[in-house]
Amino acid sequence: MSQSDAPDLAATTLLVARFAPNRPDPATLTGDLDLVGDLGYDSVRLVELLLAVADAFALPLPLEAILAGPALSIGALASEVTRARARS
């Protein structure tokens, strides 16, 4: 992840913490944490998070591609935000 991705990672991490089942402290979250395996997200929470991310960044995220991919980490979600911002 490049330095230009850092703001997207920080903002995404805050949203991840907000929607996570156990409301973890954002300062304890790292980009490699898996949303389902490590943070306990279920499918409904994932969709809520992805919609919140799309709304927060005013970007259309390819939700189908994100959800159909391999394990989704905080860093992978932030990278997708960065890519979507570059396309718009």
Residue 53 pLDDT exceeds 60 = yes
Q: Label residue 64 by pLDDT band (50, 70, 90).
A: low
In this structure, whether the domain defined by 3-87 belongs to CATH 1.10.760.10 is answered with no
d(CA 2, CA 52): 23
Q: Label residue 12 by pLDDT band (50, 70, 90).
A: very high
> Mean pLDDT for the chain?
85
| Burial category of 85 from C-beta neighbours within 10 Å (exposed 0-12, middle 13-18, buried 19 and up) | middle
Residue 69 pLDDT exceeds 60 = yes
- DSSP code string of the chain: --GGGHHHHHHHHHHHHHHSTT---GGG--TT-BTTTTT---HHHHHHHHHHHHHHHT----HHHHHHSSPPBHHHHHHHHHHHHHH-
